[in-house]
């Protein structure tokens, strides 16, 4: 597909000011799309969104569960494509507040999709899910976050199969890159510690493995999926996007130390019991075969760019001097 596909196209992005949403909006604007961006005041905002983006999109302030608001947006902005990224995406926060997580991740999905059903407007809907939702015949785990994403996928399947909504689902590995300022996450938290000259702290023995995919490759995946949604072999499917090359927490830390030029900072291993292993992303063969998608660079190459982004970010908005050292999530 060419950039002409998006030129002048009406696009509604929920979760637009979040980490991935902000990069998606930036790319859509660059391709000429007319973007309406849902902004939830309770949610965190990526600085990427406010770097000359907020005045180039139609800001919609409200709640993802407001069906009437979604219907108005779909009609008023002649929306052709919906990217549903709004979610409570932190596993720890989901455990602390399961009700809020279910409200956002499950109720939010059905409210938006019912607005799409009633309006009859969007010709394509991309639902951002997670490897934690299951896949390849694997049931999801019973953690509140996993359950919320699996239920969101089931809601999407109901609207797809019963009402014919043009939906496809994207399940990604652990997404990283510049613009993620939630420092409880492993990549930004570790980079902050290292750039402050602190030894990174790993709660476990460093062995848990994850698949890390860069946000630029995820945005590319979402766009490719939307562009091809009218194809019968694409419409209605769930696609997995990952590198297929998982790394351990310790290996990831070493990548960050090398990218920052601070290999002198030896990681501190606390050897605490780790939580259950992350669900590995399902095979990405369908994404490669039907969408032509694959990671554009190695994790190490992307990590070098990511560290550089945070260097510049901290120069402009330095973290408080008493900010606690980050502890790895595993």
Residues marked as catalytic: 145
Residue 170 CA, distance from chain mean position:
10
The C-alpha atoms of residue 124 and residue 121 are separated, in whole angstroms, by 9
Residues 6+ apart with CB under 8 A from 210: 173, 174, 246, 247, 249, 252, 278, 330
Do the Cβ atoms of 213 and 329 come closer than 8 Å? no
Longest alpha-carbon distance in the chain: 59
Strands 268-269 and 212-214, sheet pairing: unpaired
Question: Reduced to 3 states, what is the DSSP secondary structure of residue 4?
Answer: helix
Which value, in Å, is the radius of gyration of the alpha carbons in the chain? 19
The C-alpha atoms of residue 220 and residue 241 are separated, in whole angstroms, by 10
The C-alpha atoms of residue 213 and residue 149 are separated, in whole angstroms, by 19
Task: Give the residue from 21, 25, 23 showing the smallest Cα distance to 6.
Answer: 25
The C-alpha atoms of residue 253 and residue 256 are separated, in whole angstroms, by 5
Q: Residue 200 is encoded by which pair of tokens? A: 């990174």
Q: How far is CA 20 from each of CA 63, 218, 240, 252, 318, rounded to the nearest angstrom?
A: 18, 8, 16, 20, 22
Question: Reduced to 3 states, what is the DSSP secondary structure of residue 110?
Answer: helix
């Amino acid at each position: 597909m060419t950039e002409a596909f998006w030129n002048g196209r009406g696009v509604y992005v929920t979760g637009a000011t979040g980490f991935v949403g902000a990069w998606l909006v930036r790319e859509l604007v660059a391709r000429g799309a007319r973007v309406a961006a849902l902004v939830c005041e309770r949610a965190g905002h990526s600085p990427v969104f406010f770097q000359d983006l907020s005045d180039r999109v139609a800001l919609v302030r409200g709640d993802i569960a407001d069906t009437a608001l979604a219907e108005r947006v779909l009609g008023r902005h002649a929306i052709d494509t919906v990217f549903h990224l709004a979610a409570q995406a932190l596993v720890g926060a989901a455990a602390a507040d399961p009700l809020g997580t279910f409200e956002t991740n499950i109720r939010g999905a059905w409210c938006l999709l019912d607005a799409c059903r009633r309006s009859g407007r969007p010709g394509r809907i991309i639902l951002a899910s997670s490897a934690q939702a299951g896949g390849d015949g694997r049931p999801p785990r019973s953690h509140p976050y996993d359950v919320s994403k699996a239920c969101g996928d089931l809601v999407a399947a109901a609207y797809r199969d019963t009402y014919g909504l043009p939906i496809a689902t994207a399940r990604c590995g652990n997404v990283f890159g510049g613009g993620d300022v939630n420092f409880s996450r492993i990549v930004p938290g570790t980079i902050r510690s290292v750039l402050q000259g602190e030894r990174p702290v790993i709660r476990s023995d460093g062995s848990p493995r994850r698949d890390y995919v860069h946000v630029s490759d995820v945005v590319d995946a979402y766009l490719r999926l939307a562009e091809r949604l009218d194809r019968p072999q694409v419409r209605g499917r769930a696609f997995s996007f990952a590198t297929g090359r998982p790394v351990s927490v310790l290996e990831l830390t070493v990548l960050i130390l090398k990218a920052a030029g601070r290999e002198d900072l030896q990681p501190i291993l606390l050897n605490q019991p780790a939580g259950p292993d992350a669900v590995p992303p399902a095979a990405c063969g369908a994404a490669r075969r039907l969408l032509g998608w694959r990671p554009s660079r190695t994790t190490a190459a992307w990590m070098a760019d990511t560290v550089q982004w945070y260097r510049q970010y901290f120069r402009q908005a330095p973290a408080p001097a008493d900010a606690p050292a980050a502890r790895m999530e595993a």
